[in-house]
């Protein structure tokens, strides 16, 4: 079945460090891929998405590229801020109208 695997957290970085959160997936066909972010005490927000191979999603300095050959959608940011501290979820949707399947989430903590 379809699944998403993320790197385990928590990830602790200093401000202005480079961030990578790994995400790989297993799916039939050509899924759409997403990153959602959950700030403390809040619901999830869509951060970025990519709907086909080699697409790059980007938002708020974060970016992720849909790599079909490695079935990956790693999240990157060049310089993190304390305000980026949150839990990040990778997710896939196998087809239009299909279920959104989440990875287990990766907690990011950015220290001043």
Partner 1 sequence: DTAVSQTPKYLVTQMGNDKSIKCEQNLGHDTMYWYKQDSKKFLKIMFSYNNKELIINETVPNRFSPKSPDKAHLNLHINSLELGDSAVYFCASSQDPGLAGGDARIFGPGTRLTVL
Residues that bind partner 1 (CB under 8 A): 32, 34, 36, 38, 41-46, 49, 51, 87, 89, 93, 96-100, 102, 104-105, 107
Least distance to partner 1, CB of residue 79, Å: 25
Of 40 and 112, which has the nearer Cβ to partner 1? Answer: 40
Q: How far is the CB of 26 from partner 1 (least distance, A)?
A: 17
Distance CA 5, CA 72 (A): 9
What does the DSSP 8-state code read for residue 53? Answer: T
Cα–Cα nearest to 52, from 70, 65, 40, 37:
65
Q: For partner 1, which is the closer residue by CB, 24 or 51?
A: 51
Backbone angles phi, psi at 13, to 5 degrees: -130, 160
* Beta strands at 56-59 and 23-26: parallel, antiparallel or unpaired: unpaired
Report, in Å, the least distance between residue 16 CB and partner 1: 26
């Amino acid at each position: 079945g379809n699944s998403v695997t993320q790197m385990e957290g928590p990830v602790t970085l200093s401000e202005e460090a480079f961030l990578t959160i790994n995400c790989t997936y297993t799916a039939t066909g050509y899924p759409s891929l997403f990153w959602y972010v959950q700030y403390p005490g809040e619901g999830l927000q869509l951060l970025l998405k990519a709907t086909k191979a080699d697409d790059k999603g980007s938002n708020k300095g974060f970016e992720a590229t849909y790599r079909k050959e490695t079935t990956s959608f790693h999240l990157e940011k060049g310089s993190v801020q304390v305000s980026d501290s949150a839990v990040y979820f990778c997710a896939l949707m196998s087809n239009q109208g299909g279920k959104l399947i989440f990875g287990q989430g990766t907690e990011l903590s950015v220290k001043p």
